[in-house]
Structure 1
């Protein structure tokens, strides 16, 4: 490590991968707890002879070799560590004082120090206790994606056949000779790798990814009860929100609902690209929401978040990362968190190849506001794209004009999105108008309306023999 790098670390302070330790004699147990936590997380550097505030105190120069020898002996002692972590040491000097740098790489296995596993959270070493935290730690060390979890009891009845057909049409619209065109529903699910075998116990069945993409809402809620995506607008009422959309349905229709919600709240502008008019807003919304849904760690109870504020739009979702910190597009190596879900979104045209999302967000954010987006990864992935509202005030932007209900899309639209569309246009909806716009039965439309009423989003008003629905004012 160069003197300049060392100076920069001292100035930046402790973090998830940097720890300062005073070392008056031989290293104490707290040093080895940090060794354990670094090995279990992303790796990191421990600097012996540095106080918490970055002041260099140094170690005893006569004991430098003894300290390094003691450190190696303890990490190799099976009564102390299981398994033994890898460490390397380096002696640095500053102002004539000796500092020992201990580099700990990320381990391929879960490490325990004196029978206890430690993990790193910000600049703190914490004991890992409880089944959930331990399972998360082991999952991080394995080449395993939670989307691949197999549920042998699932059958085709647990899936939305109408949604499977919609996705088939979307894939064929992009590529007329798509292999899904002539497959049965069951064959399509297998072709999309949504059915598989758990190699640990040889059980076979539909994967969690299949339910998240195409499952009925009741099945999704049963297998993934914490799953939801919360979208809010917080521009006027900064304590609560101005508008809100909470989705718990499948990922395909969640994508429709979330993109429609975001587009209604954000100002639009167009510019010419290769003699064609392009909407940077629509591309930004598409990439942010696709990333929010595709690359989430679905074993985590943390909900996905989309927040539109006066400064811009930001998203947050649980992540399974091998890196923590700000992402730089110049040295960014994309890695799919859920390759099955990502592949399905690509087939139906809701996402492009891996890594294109960040490139598009940088490109079109500059076109949109002249500013660059920000990304950071860790246990939580965060994205932010600046937005300049044309009115310059903390009021919601004007919505874009809505098509007349008679000009329906030939494939219809998601039910909840149709409800929002009609409310924007007319102020009220009925099960019949929703059914016509979404191409579903009135019974299906009514089920969605009743559910939104029970959540306090809508209120039902009886008009003669009919019931109409309008937005709740609470």
Structure 2
């Protein structure tokens, strides 16, 4: 068996390798794979190999006709909307059986076979049906970074220029002699490449990177109507949340808001790194938030999400990756998604150079829980980092009231925070009773925005059992009024 054929057989089928049996002519599924390879990252089809890797071979007499058939079909405008490029290579195993390798490079167009668009997902050819998927595929094929798109109508009035003071503070903390510190506001924006010339139109002005980093909310909405990051805390039920932050702020502000949300709900744990005491949680949160903000595809309709649940913290954001699949230390091949935005964050000391962040995430995830993170790139970049067992136990419990109000723990849902939340619910309930004599749970949760309505209802149920409140079910809603022991709400606190 030739070395090349042996390597393909040993690797098995995947995102860029497909095995197919072949008689005198290739089947329709061969052309579906050609379409999917051209739409994804390219790949090789081995004709004459079964799915299990066993070589059956192709008739030597039929080889030329098979290659001609593939060339004719891929060139037929009635079958392929755009002709994908294909090349052939003939390989033989140790017993002399012929395998035809059909090589298909990734093409610049959106390819369709018989009116259907196919994409390669893992080792399967998947028919693409939604506009969102097609938009993601086109974004993936662009060699032009969307962050460089210039909007001539955007002026400094459309940006939060006052944020440059905080930017300079971060620059100074990261490098006291940073060259940007001596520049005026306008010079700093140009040095950061936030103002320039559009390579496609030739127009000059502020680009999408400037709007994303420093734009006012209205400006961001005009340029990126679907831009937002949805951060949620889910402790028990997957279809509801205990806390939520919908972040539409520019990236400079969003970083602090999202880091604060995640650090509030994840347990802190200090580890020794090179003899220094560091917070593993803080490093992990900052790496995940940075990646979610700066390496996303801003023109995609996919909404970026950060989810904290009983297993860990997960992020998901639109991406424009040339190569799809798991991201490991061995397979790490860093490619900048938004080099202008990434450089801005690096200068501020909020992110590391390409590749270093992933290595840091692996290192501190292992220190945090002894487990590796799970990272995968494609049309969406997804990341998962587990949490220490104390957090998982509290988050997965169906009766997490005990975790929130009982003995002190070392997680974010430990006793002291639970007691403070209970006291805050009592204070708001007391105020509502004084004002109107009764209230609904939604009125309490609206006043304590960091606490979900389910959590509020648990505390109110406790107060009913203690006699401090009386609940009055009314259809689908419940109202609460003072109970026989209502003095407990007013007296000893």
Following superposition, the deviation at residue 195 of structure 1 comes to 0.8
Residues 261-276 of structure 1: matches in 2 within 5 Å?
A: 261-276=261-276
> Which residues in structure 2 correspond to 1:286-435 (within 5 Å)?
286-390=286-390, 393-395=393-395, 398-399=411-412, 427=424
SS of the aligned residue for 2:335 comes to coil
Partner of 1:40: 39
The corresponding residue for 2:125 is 124
Q: How many residues align?
A: 415
Work out whether residues 150 and 197 of structure 2, in 8 Å CA contact, stay in contact via their aligned partners in 1: yes
Judged with a 3 Å threshold, the aligned counterparts in structure 2 of structure 1 residues 470 and 103 are, in CA distance, closer, same or farther, namely closer
Q: Are 1:34 and 1:125, in contact at CA under 8 Å, matched by a contact in 2?
A: no
In 1, the alpha carbon distance for the partners of 2:359 and 2:161 equals 35
Structure 2 counterparts to residues 24-423 of structure 1, below 5 A: 24-49=23-48, 59-60=58-59, 62-72=61-71, 75=74, 82=82, 85-91=85-91, 99-107=99-107, 109-110=108-109, 112=111, 118-122=117-121, 123-126=124-127, 136-390=136-390, 393-395=393-395, 398-399=411-412
CA distance in 1, matches of 2:25, 2:210: 54
Partners of 1:48 and 1:155 in 2: CA distance: 58
1:69-120 deviations in whole A, cap 9, x for unaligned? 443465567887645514233345599975433222223x326567968441
The equivalent position to 1:459 in structure 2, one of 425, 446, 457, is 446
CA distance, structure 1, for counterparts of residue 443 and residue 452 of structure 2: 7
Length-normalised TM-score, structure 2: 0.74
CA spacing shift, 1:301–1:59, aligned 2, 3 Å? same
Residue 111 to residue 300, structure 1, CA distance change in 2 (3 Å): closer
CA distance in 1, matches of 2:153, 2:23: 60
Structure 1 position 276, deviation (Å): 2.7
Q: Deviations over 1:421-442 (max 9, x none)?
A: xx979849xxxxxxxxxxxxxx
- Relative to structure 1, is the Cα distance of residues 427 and 220 closer, same or farther in structure 2, using a 3 angstrom cutoff? farther
Cα deviation per residue 1:229-261 (whole Å; 9 max; x = unaligned)?
111222322332222222111111111111111
Aligned partners of 2:381 and 2:113: how far apart in 1? 32
SS of 1:164's partner is helix
Deviations 1:45-86 (A, max 9, x none): 223345678787654454234323443465567887645514
Deviations 1:411-430 (A, max 9, x none): xxxxxxxxx9xx979849xx
Aligned to 2:9: 6
Counterpart contact for 1:44–1:105, Cα < 8 Å: yes
What SS is found at the alignment partner of 1:393?
Answer: helix
- The answer to whether the 8 Å contact 2:267/2:391 transfers is no
Relative distance call for 1:170 and 1:18 in structure 2 (3 A) is same
Deviations 1:336-368 (A, max 9, x none): 100011011011111121111011011111211
**Partner SS for 2:236:** coil
Query: Between Structure 1 and Structure 2, whose CA radius of gyration is higher?
Result: 2
For 2:316 and 2:377, locate their aligned partners in 1 and report how far apart those are by CA, in whole Å: 10
Q: CA 1:469 to 1:58, structure 2 compared with 1: closer, same or farther past 3 Å?
A: closer
Q: CA deviation at 1:171?
A: 1.2
Give the alignment's Cα RMSD to 1 decimal: 3.5
- Residue 144 of structure 1: how far off its partner (Å): 0.8
- Contact 2:8/2:17 (CA < 8 Å) preserved in 1? no
Q: In structure 1, the residue corresponding to 2:196 is in which secondary structure?
A: strand
Q: What displacement does 1:31 show?
A: 2.5
Once residues 198 and 187 of structure 2 are traced to their aligned partners in structure 1, the CA distance between those partners, rounded to angstroms, is: 19
Distance 1:472 1:111, change over 3 A: closer
Q: What displacement does 1:8 show?
A: 4.9
Say if 2:230 and 2:306, in contact at 8 Å, map to a contact too.
Answer: yes
- The 1:222–1:33 alpha-carbon spacing in structure 2 relative to 1, beyond 3 Å, is same
Aligned residue in 2 for 1:473 = 453
8 Å CA contact retained: 1:36, 1:117 = no
Residue 24 of structure 1: how far off its partner (Å): 3.0
Question: Does the C-alpha gap of structure 1 residues 456 and 290 become closer, same or farther in structure 2, counting only changes over 3 Å?
Answer: farther
Contact 1:150 1:207 in 2 (8 A): yes
Residue 450 of structure 1: aligned partner: none
Change in Cα spacing, 1:111 to 1:253, as seen in structure 2 (3 Å) is closer
Say whether the 8 Å CA contact 2:112–2:118 is kept in structure 1.
Answer: no
Decide whether aligned partners of structure 1 residues 4 and 169 sit closer, same or farther in structure 2, where only a CA change above 3 A counts: closer
Which structure 1 residue ranges, 5 or more long, are not aligned? 402-419, 429-454, 461-467
Structure 1: distance between partners of 2:242 and 2:130: 39
Q: Any conservation in 1 of the 2:145–2:337 contact (CA below 8 Å)?
A: yes
